């Protein structure tokens, strides 16, 4: 057991909400629109430092001016977050900070219905999905990604200036090269590790011999910082004309393959769901391997999207974790 309880005040549709968590599986039942997902959102906010759905102004209950959330761990530690419409603060013990400290974060595997469409989503959705996983495994990845995005925004703003010269971009090119190379190498490393596991994990769900893998598509794969820098410099005229950076890890994609063909179009609906389930199980294993902690499992109304066999696989694979499930159905586990 990881979490003992969660309290929410003026959080989405909840005036006041309290949940005492079970040691293994907590089931939150109710019709659509009653605020079940908001409970998972509150837990995610206090374990990861931000919502998985929206910004803070969207979370405040309509007609109120603040929200407050508090989470108690089994070991007695508490963390809370308060937002007054302008400022948000986290409280961890006696310490107050604008961001949830890294040491106060806890690994979470979040499963929402839209994840089942990951294979057919736009590349940006897949990049965001894997960035969350890889950032959870390595704080340096999150830091590099944040710095890369900041440098990318600055470079794009400068590119819109009609009188810009290549020299004015040098410092931003340098930062993009440094952090972009790190991100590309990290992505390739983690995807390789996932690929070593995903087919066997899939077989345990689907009970067949289909082959699954993920191709990391990037113009920066295996590139050095010097080559990254020279490519940005070479693209100056084109980038200036278009007003944005046309080369870099912000254009990466991850292609899911089913028996050596793109899964988007070749895998059935059921096969696609088994692939995503496999990815979730591997995600949990990677968190435990790298962080030496069993992650908390949050499942938001996914049972309605799965058949009986896949439901049983989900329950079986996460039976040694603390799981919090939302559902409109009773008797699902």
pLDDT digits (tens, 9 = 90+) for 66-113: 999 999 999 999 999 999 999 999 999 889 999 999 999 999 999 999
Q: Write down the domain spans for the chain.
A: 3-106+298-327, 117-284
pLDDT of residue 222: 86
How many CB atoms are located within 10 Å of the residue 160 CB?
A: 10
The CATH fold of domain 3-106+298-327? Rossmann fold (3.40.50)
Rg (CA), the chain: 22
Q: In CATH, which superfamily holds the domain spanning 117-284?
A: RecF/RecN/SMC, N-terminal domain (1.20.1050.90)
- For every residue of 28-86, DSSP letters joined together read EE--TTSSHHHHHHHHHHHHHSS-SS--HHHHBPTT-S-EEEEEEETTS-EEEEEE-SS
Distance between CA 137 and CA 289 in Å, rounded? 9
Query: Are 282 and 201 spatial neighbours (Cβ–Cβ below 8 Å)?
Result: yes
pLDDT confidence band for 221 (50 / 70 / 90): confident
In the predicted structure, residue 331 carries a pLDDT above the cut 90: no
pLDDT digits (tens, 9 = 90+) for 85-96: 999 999 998 899
pLDDT digits (tens, 9 = 90+) for 5-52: 999 999 999 999 999 999 999 999 999 999 999 999 999 999 999 999
pLDDT digits (tens, 9 = 90+) for 291-320: 999 999 999 999 989 999 999 999 999 999
Distance between CA 51 and CA 42 in Å, rounded? 7
pLDDT of residue 304: 87
């Amino acid at each position: 057991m990881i979490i003992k309880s969660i309290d929410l005040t003026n959080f989405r549709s909840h005036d006041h909400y309290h949940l005492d968590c079970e040691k293994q599986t907590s089931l939150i039942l109710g019709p659509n629109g009653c605020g079940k997902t908001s409970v998972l959102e509150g837990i995610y906010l206090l374990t990861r430092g931000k919502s998985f759905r929206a910004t803070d102004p969207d979370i405040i209950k309509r007609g109120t001016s603040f929200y407050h959330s508090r989470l108690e761990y089994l070991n007695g530690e508490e963390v809370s977050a308060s937002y007054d419409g302008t400022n948000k603060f986290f409280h961890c013990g006696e310490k107050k900070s604008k961001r949830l400290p890294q040491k106060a974060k806890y690994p979470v595997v979040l499963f929402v219905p839209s994840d089942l469409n990951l294979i057919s989503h736009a590349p940006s959705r897949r990049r965001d999905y894997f960035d969350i996983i890889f950032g959870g495994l390595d704080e340096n990845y999150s830091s590099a990604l944040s710095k890369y995005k900041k440098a990318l925004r600055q470079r794009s703003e400068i590119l819109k200036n009609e009188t810009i010269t290549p020299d004015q971009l040098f410092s931003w090119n340098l930062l993009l090269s440094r952090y972009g190379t790190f991100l590309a190498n990290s992505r390739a490393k983690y995807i390789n590790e996932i690929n070593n596991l995903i087919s066997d994990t899939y077989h345990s769900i689907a009970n067949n011999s289909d082959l699954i893998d993920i191709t990391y598509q990037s113009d920066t794969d295996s590139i050095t910082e010097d080559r990254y820098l020279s490519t940005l410099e070479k693209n100056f005229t084109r980038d200036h004309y278009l007003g944005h950076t046309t080369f870099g890890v912000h254009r990466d994609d991850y292609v899911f393959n089913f028996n050596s063909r793109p899964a988007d179009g070749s895998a059935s609906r059921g096969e696609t769901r088994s692939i995503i389930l496999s990815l979730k199980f591997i995600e949990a294993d990677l968190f435990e391997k790298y962080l030496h902690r069993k992650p908390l499992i949050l499942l938001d109304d996914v049972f309605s999207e799965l058949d009986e066999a896949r439901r049983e696989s989900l329950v079986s694979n996460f039976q040694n974790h603390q799981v919090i499930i939302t559902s409109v159905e009773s008797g699902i586990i």
